[in-house]
Structures are given as structure tokens and as C-alpha cells.
Amino acid sequence: MPGVIATLFALPKMRDYHYCILLDRDARIAPRYPSGEGEVLWLQLEDGRLVGQNVFREAGALDRTLKAANR
């Protein structure tokens, strides 16, 4: 996503989420884990340790998972 779009729209909206998000702006973490174009890589951490990994290809599946995590 272009930096201007992220700064003006995406990042302010993310601040209102009821769950934590880590943005890998410098691509230091995500390249270690496989995912493809148009996919969302979900890395679940507990106390800084990786405990789960999912790749979402469909917005509906990601939305359901986010809603379940928000409970």
C-alpha cells in the first residue's frame, strides 16, 4: 500500500481495532514465512513466541477469524 494511503487512512483506522497488529514496515519478519500475492499472513504470538500461523486468501475467512479473536 502506498505510504500516503497508509498514513492518511489505514493506520488511523487500525488504531481503533480491539486487537494488536504488528506492521512489518521494513520487511524484517514476514519474508521468513511463506505467503503469496494477495494473501494475509497471520502470525499469532504469545509472550513474543510464535504459537500459530495462518494464511488467508479470502476476506470473509479473515473477517470471521478477527471477530472470533475480538471476543
21 within 8 A of 14, measured Cβ to Cβ? yes
Interior CA angle at 67 toward 63 and 69, to 5°? 115
Q: Note the pLDDT of residue 35.
A: 80
- Model pLDDT, residue 43: 86
Per-residue pLDDT reduced to its tens digit, 26-65: 888 878 888 888 888 888 888 889 999 999 999 999 999 8
**Which pTM does this prediction carry?**
0.61
Provide DSSP, 27-66. Answer: -SSGGGS---TT-EEEEEEETTEEEEEEEE-SHHHHHHHH
Alpha helices (H) along the chain: 3-5, 11-14, 59-69
pLDDT value at residue 55: 92
Q: Is 38 helix (H, G, I), strand (E, B) or coil?
A: coil
